[in-house]
Amino acid sequence: MTKGQGLFSAPLQVHIFDGLLSDFDGTIIDSTDAIVKHWHKVGEELGVDPKVILATSHGRRTIDTLQLYDPKRANWEYVSFVEGRIPKEFGSDAVEVPGARDLLSQLDNAGACWGVVTSGSRALIDGWLVVLNLTHPKMLVVAEDVELGKPDPRCYLLGRKRLGLEHSSSLVVLEDAPSGIRAGKAAGFKVIALATTHSLAQLQEAGADWIVEDLRSISVQGVVDGRIQLEIRNAYQ
């Protein structure tokens, strides 16, 4: 995505949250090239133009995408099979989003209350964590855990519950996709959007509270009385 000069220059801000929930693909890792190759392979197997699938698949659960193009294969056994092979076959085509490894280490070292809420299957996420040698989240909500995917907010509400924060609305969500931003906002949380996969206009329209280039703009100052002190630098203004 092309970004204008000087747009990401807002003054440093510090905000306090009870917990942090992060999307995975496009937020912690960038597997765009791997996913493109994956959908080309699946598209050929299904007899569907991969370009058509790719136009609707980002930020969406594979089972929901399959429901559109081949409902007979829209089941978790098939999803786990096809997604489980992505890290194995296309692992070299994925990288961590800049700043991701540092932020995850900061969250763990500070004893922060955090977790991942993803549209990917457990087989996919477990595979990427191994291939990229990333910190395993303390709490994980995967595609199989919810009846409806993003932008439905139930995935993030389940994440809050699993963190033991069921009665708190003071959570922050990290997202890159409009559907995920809408899910976080519908859950009643603040959302920091990463300009890694979508345009500024799309992120703004979805309702992001802050927009940053990547995770290098976010750091943990500390955890006080169980609450995360989160520093946001160079947000879009």
Coil, helix or strand for 191? strand
Tell me the two tokens of residue 115: 């977790």
| Distances, alpha carbon 67 to alpha carbons 46, 82, 139, in Å | 12, 15, 28
Active site residue 25: yes
Of 18, 23, 176, 214, which residue is the catalytic one? 23
Closest CA to 103 of 235, 236, 219: 219
Contact between residue 197 and residue 177 where contact means Cβ atoms under 8 Å apart = yes
Closest CA to 161 of 143, 145, 185, 182: 145
Active site residue 49: no
Q: Give dist(CA 220, CA 237) in Å, integer.
A: 22
Length of the chain: 237
Tell me the two tokens of residue 35: 């996913």
Closest CA to 117 of 102, 131, 137: 137
Q: Give dist(CA 13, CA 147) in Å, integer.
A: 36
Of 25, 30, 176, 214, which residue is the catalytic one? 25
Coil, helix or strand for 134? coil
Look-up of token digits 């370009």: 51
Contact between residue 50 and residue 149 where contact means Cβ atoms under 8 Å apart = no
* Active site positions, annotated: 23, 25
